[in-house]
Amino acid sequence: MDNYIVSARKYRPSTFRSVVGQRSLTTTLKNAIASNKLAHAYLFCGPRGVGKTTCARIFAKTINCLEPTPEKEACNKCESCQAFNEQRSLNIHELDAASNNSVDDIRSLIDQVRIPPQIGKYKVYIIDEVHMLSSAAFNAFLKTLEEPPHHAIFILATTEKHKILPTILSRCQIYDFSRISITDIVEHLHYVAENEGVTTDPEALNILAQKADGGMRDALSIFDQVVSFTGGNITYKSVIENLNVLDYEYYFKLTESILAQNVTDSLLTLNDILNRGFDGHNVITGIASHFRDLLLCKDAKTAELFEVGASIRSRYTEIAQKCSNHFLYKAIEIVNDCDLNYRLSRNKRLLSDLTLIKLCQLSDQPTQSGEEKKNSVINPIHTQQSSTPVSQPIASNQTKPITNISPKPEPQVTKTPEIKSPPISSQKVQTKMPGSLGISISAITEEKKEEVSSTENDQSVILEESFTPLELINEWKSYTESDAIGDDHHLKNTMINCLPSLLNRDLFEVVVNNQLQEQKLNDSAFTILTFLRNRLKNSHIRMEVRISVDNEKKLAFTAKEKFDLMAEQNQNLLRLKDEFGLEEN
């Protein structure tokens, strides 16, 4: 039985031409060989499995080739090339810095550098994972790396360039290897599959390339794994089953449910995904990537950035036409917020469900109707149109937006015309948000409550009762003692120390001492005004907050400011400071 060789070793490139995805770097190395301008030290850095060590071996083999081709590739026929291919070359030395990272290992290497090559022109030392060397080993290596013998060339390879000393970096020519594109990986996997007699599906190879994350070695390892699972017939279904990859169909199904505002189907689809063993966080990030891909497919130019098979790209393009740009922007933002908060959430499943519910609220094109829509759809939050009657009742599952909080010159009590719609039996009185619709009916006197509740048709009332400055101050203080202020002690102290002054019928002013107090009042303005409008029976009350220039100057925050303020009141403090040589700070 022949010894099995994995694809990553069997199809390892042996020439610059066969290196995949690093064309610019291989061209630079070939030109350096052709012009005989070789540096004494190179640093190859980049992600794992992209060809750093492979290119180092090809470079070492090519510069020692006795009869290079016109394209400056190794001939594979001379004694030097054959010795390299048979792994008996004395001119090429490889050192694994992960296990040989001490000073003694580097000193042994330096002793070998002095011996000239027996065959060929150069002795090449390839040090892999060079960032694993200790600081002492790096320092011992510095002088030799800077001025090696003319026949010695060092090639350092690493995945973590930031861990290498700057003094080492300054002595090397640095080559940054990039991740291999999905298209290049798919083409190479197709080439390997043809040589191995394996039938493949283009979509399956694309999944393999995505799973490899830009590394050819990882792609070939996954390829071998899937070949063993499928017996030589690689299909899309077999790949997602073996690699436990979430099928695109689940994302398409979720998108259809979200566009239809069907919360029930969305939650059931998510539950099906989680029951298959997929991690919830990975599902959330997958949904975010899915909406990003839909956004790319909205335009034919950006669709090329989405590296998938033609059939899946066409499916994405079809779904993308059903989604508006605004919907995709908001959907990506909502899912990204969920991704950021996922690890901190105690109830992760609830967070995922709420995210889907928010996504269903984004769409403004419901496709269901009747009882089915009533049971499975959560209506989006719409902005109230100006033409909507003000007395229209607010549904229990909706929130009425605030459209205007500025006063309007209207009669003292304005009643809207009757709306010819059946009364809602489940609610005695509809609660109104403050704004153009008036204050809450619960704030009206008990006599008016009974009058409104006894009326069959819902009516909104806008109150404009006058009030005195003393009444305003009393209600202002009442707010600090109510449950509405909660545990906000800073706001409470601010309101106790800074009382309002009435400027005109509906406008009052609050003078504060600093910006922090101003910000506190502005942040709580909505709840404060709501409280005052209810208690003073005036829907048009407004508040202005400004900082007192005099108070701000007199306030002392730092130690020096406090001393200066006390010194103004008592001049003896200045004499005391001078006698004892005290410092103000």
Q: How far is CA 431 from the centre of its chain?
A: 40
What is the structure's pLDDT at 154? 93
What are the φ and ψ backbone dihedral angles of 496, each rounded to 5 degrees?
A: -70, -40
What span, in angstroms and rounded, lies between the C-alpha atoms of 195 and 227?
13
Q: Same domain, yes or no, for 321 and 372?
A: yes
pLDDT class for 558, splitting at 50, 70, 90?
Answer: low
Assign residue 132 the CATH number of its domain: 3.40.50.300
**Residue 147 forms part of a structural domain:** yes
Is 46 found in the same domain as 141? yes
CA distance 548 to 481: 25
pLDDT, residue 435, reads: 38
More confidently predicted of 312 and 42: 42
Assigned token pair, 156? 């350092």
- Residue 323 sits in a domain whose CATH number is 1.20.272.10
Q: Are residues 216 and 326 in the same domain?
A: no
Residue 555: which pLDDT band, with cuts at 50, 70 and 90? low
Q: What are the φ and ψ backbone dihedral angles of 449, each rounded to 5 degrees?
A: -60, -50
Decide if 460 is inside a domain. no
Query: Rounded mean pLDDT of 161-173?
Result: 90
Residue 64 tokens read as 């020692």
Instruction: Provide the residue type at 472 as one letter.
Output: L
Tokens for 9, please give them. Answer: 């070793």
State which residues form the domain around 149: 7-176
Mean pLDDT of 356-371: 66
The pTM of the full predicted model, rounded to 2 decimals, is 0.57
Same-domain check for residues 326 and 345:
yes
Has residue 376 got a pLDDT over 50? no
277: left (phi over 0), alpha (psi -120 to 50) or beta: left
Which segment of 216-220, 544-548, 550-554, 557-561 scores lowest on mean pLDDT? 550-554
Q: Say how far apart CA 380 and CA 390 lie, in whole Å.
A: 20
Residues 223 and 253 in one domain: no
Q: Is residue 413 part of a domain?
A: no
Domain's final residue, options 227, 242, 257 = 242
User: pLDDT digit string (tens) for 390-427?
Assistant: 434 444 444 444 434 444 444 444 443 444 444 433 33
Half-sphere exposure of 119 (CA within 13 A, CB side): 16
3-state secondary structure of 111: helix
Report in angstroms the alpha-carbon separations of 448 from 106, 346, 461, 464, 576: 94, 46, 10, 15, 70
Mean pLDDT confidence for 310-339: 88
| Secondary structure letter of residue 44 according to DSSP | E
Over residues 559-578, the pLDDT tens digits come to 777 777 777 778 788 888 78
- What pLDDT score does 410 carry? 45
**Higher-pLDDT residue of 578, 30:** 30
Query: Quick check: helix, strand or coil at residue 153?
Result: strand
Of 242, 258, 289, which one is at a domain's C-terminal end? 242
Residues 201 and 87 in one domain: no
Residue at 355 is within a domain: yes
- Is residue 116 located within the same domain as residue 256? no
Residue 52 — φ and ψ, nearest 5°? Answer: -65, -55
**Count of other CB atoms within 10 angstroms of residue 372:** 11
The total number of structural domains in the chain stands at 3
pLDDT in tens, 187-205: 999 999 988 888 888 888 8
Query: How far is residue 156's CA from residue 129's CA, in Å, rounded to a whole number?
Result: 8
Which one has a higher pLDDT value, 414 or 329? Answer: 329
Look at strands 199-200 and 507-512 and give their pairing: unpaired
Helices (H) and strands (E) in the chain, counts: 26, 12
Q: pLDDT, tens digit, for every residue of 490-540?
A: 888 888 888 898 888 888 999 988 888 888 888 889 889 988 888 888 888
User: Are residues 170 and 22 part of one domain?
Assistant: yes
Q: Give the pLDDT of residue 297.
A: 86
Residue bearing the bigger pLDDT, 363 or 155: 155
Q: Are residues 232 and 152 in the same domain?
A: no
| Across 7-33, average pLDDT | 89
Quickly state the pLDDT bin for 2 (edges 50, 70, 90).
Answer: low
pLDDT score for 375: 46
Residue 444 lies in a domain: no
| Res 312: pLDDT | 80
Looking at 349, 376, 403, which one is the last position of a domain? Answer: 376
Q: Is residue 450 part of a domain?
A: no
Residues in the chain: 585
Evaluate whether residue 542 is within a structural domain.
no
| Inter-residue long-range contacts of 220-223, CB under 8 Å, 24+ positions, other chains counted | 220/6, 220/7, 220/8, 220/11, 220/189, 220/192, 221/6, 221/7, 221/8, 223/7, 223/189, 223/192, 223/193
370 and 262 share one domain:
yes
Q: CA–CA separation, 147 vs 171, rounded Å?
A: 9
**pLDDT class of 550 with cuts at 50, 70, 90:** low
**Cβ–Cβ under 8 Å, residues 150 and 38:** no
CA distance 506 to 259: 46
Which CATH number belongs to the domain containing residue 199 in this structure? 1.10.8.60
Domain co-membership, 194 together with 165:
no
- Give the pLDDT score at 445: 42
CA 20 – CA 418 distance, rounded (Å):
77
- Cα separation, 80 vs 481, in Å, equals 92
Residue 514: what pLDDT?
85
Q: Is the pLDDT of residue 55 over 90?
A: yes
Q: Using 50, 70 and 90 to split pLDDT, how confident is the model at 334?
A: very high
C-alpha dihedral sign at 66, 72, 76, 80: positive
- Tell me, yes or no, whether 417 lies in a domain: no
Same domain, 50 and 168: yes
